[in-house]
Chains A and B, each alone.
Chain A
């Protein structure tokens, strides 16, 4: 039995990963027609931000803004949930390196970019959105926790919510200590209202039974699934894009699984 008995609909969908920048490019892979292979991740240029703000953003922030902009098709000012396991490694690396030097000078831009909600703050400026916005992490299970948070917002506030999840690989020397080796981001608009363009409905529950996490149907995506905590969303993205009903088990806290029932 699912806890949210009313389905929540995925009404828009975006993705960014190597060789999958945007849904159009990703669709043949997510529907199993072609194989995925890795490639250098391109430089993204979020057009939504004014040039002066854009200059201050990092690759990590640009990744989040890119998928958020693509998912927010109707330019609505929606409540937003931002989820990232690790935060901005580039900023952590730069600041911690600076702190070993004399004088210890952290630039104001680096400092405000160091907060976990930097992408959310830039997004609010870009989208001119005064709506509530949160920024969360639960490490390896961050995608599931963010989805759960977004769904509770849709259910309790009865309004559409923008969900944005992203992690970007670390530069050396932090790269050896992180679970993000590929860039990956995805974003949805979640809603109680089914529209003609809805991709799927989802219902969530949690199981503590010892069930293995769902694997990608397209096995060429498995290395990507295991190279970024947010890429644990791939089995869900595949089900949604192939318009299949499915019951998926995504990693959640304390070795439990988030059960995602995907319906049409």
Chain B
């Protein structure tokens, strides 16, 4: 069933490529990865870390929410003139009519990791540890709503690596049902010991900058990131020259395994098909696939089957995780906003770090950036799809496109 599209009227993002959308855009265009070799772990791996988060203070009135995850949230809310846009939206809609839908896999769980290191002889946690304002998922929502002065509907979605893709669907449903008039969607995830040592025990952390789809890849590079976007209905936005829209979303479950994708990519294909149906677009109207592309052989193989099944082997595809790392609960929003940059600036990013393409894959994986200087003609990239797949077999695909 086709949905009414929503317009992205403001956005902000921070990841290992830097603060703000321009930093991400410049790094993408210049083939500059944000991954760096980690120096303080028991094992060797490359990470996509954000600089300066620990020194970025929360508002004095909101210090009870203090944790790295909320510090990154604040840094991102302060970026790209996002607060100004929200202040204008508050005047337009009212603070109680703007919903907030956020994804995170970590929230401020790092505070619990730190508190366990400070247990006393009785095994008790330090008295100033505060689970509800840091680790509990609602910490991110409560902090964001209070920081922006919003009082409407909201939720935190935590479905591992699909979390901040699924926020677009929830926002759309709440607007459509009349529970809010506009919505902020976003995601914030920070690197924790749990993700580092958890992925390491699954033998999935790469010893080099991750190389999705490469014959010699050896796993993922974990990253951290945050992103926010304001979504408004077409009837509430006056036309401007370039409007990027959320045109469709598709969600599915693998129903196969807790930490391995369905080998035929069944759930992944299902999510992409649903997104196409509710965007009312045919496969040949999709100009680019932003892959989940983590860099694990199981993910790449399953996604390849799903993508070629639906789009064949001609549609350009790439994973952008060689730039940002796998930002887990923030991957959905990060890659949706990368897709927005792609549509606004009419280029296609390469699958960075790819040296020898895995011969078992049949997707049209981009080996170098396609820009208006080599092969892209103006306004030829009209619609793109971005995939996010998570543990527990949770899949979400989003279609973003230019306003027609």
Contacts and interface: CB of A to CB of B under 8 A. Distances in A.
A110 B117 CA distance: 19
Interface residues of B, number: 70
Given A87-B137, A124-B255, A117 B177 contact: no
A17 B105 CA distance: 28
B351 interface: no
A123 B182 CA distance: 32
28 contacts: A4-B177, A99-B193, A104-B193, A108-B201, A111-B199, A111-B202, A115-B158, A116-B137, A117-B158, A122-B258, A125-B258, A130-B252, A135-B157, A136-B137, A136-B157, A136-B170, A137-B158, A140-B132, A145-B154, A155-B173, A155-B177, A177-B129, A177-B131, A178-B132, A179-B132, A206-B153, A206-B179, A253-B145
Nearest to A177: B131
Given A106-B201, A127-B255, A137 B156 contact: yes
Given A152-B179, A172-B123, A177-B129, A131 B252 contact: yes
A43 interface: no
A4 B274 CA distance: 25
Contacts of B130: 177
Contacts of A105: 197, 201
B388 to A, nearest CB: 13
Nearest to A158: B1
A97 interface: yes
B159 A254 contact: no
A112 B259 contact: yes
Interface of A: 3-4, 56, 85-87, 92, 95-97, 99-100, 103-108, 110-118, 120-122, 124-125, 127-142, 145, 148-149, 151-153, 155-158, 172-174, 176-179, 206, 208, 253-254, 256
A178 B131 contact: yes
B40 to A, nearest CB: 12
Nearest to B139: A139
Contact of B173 (A113, A120, A131, A153): A153
Contacts of B135: 92
Instruction: Please give me the 3 A-B residue pairs with the lowest Cβ-Cβ distance, nearest first.
Output: A121-B392, A139-B138, A111-B198
Interface string B103-128: 00100010011011101000111000
Interface string B259-275: 10000001100100010
Given A96-B116, A174-B125, A134 B251 contact: yes
A110 B119 CA distance: 22
Contacts of B199: 111
B255 A125 contact: yes
B156 to A, nearest CB: 5
A95 B199 CA distance: 13
Contacts of A134: 157, 159, 166, 170, 251
B141 interface: yes
B378 interface: no
Given A124-B393, A138-B141, A173-B119, A208 B151 contact: yes
Given A99-B116, A106-B198, A125-B257, A253 B153 contact: yes
A52 B295 CA distance: 28
A121 B393 contact: yes
Given A56-B258, A155-B176, 11 more contacts: A3-B178, A106-B198, A108-B201, A114-B198, A117-B390, A124-B254, A134-B170, A139-B136, A153-B173, A173-B123, A253-B142
A100 B117 contact: yes
A115 B151 contact: no
Contacts of A141: 138
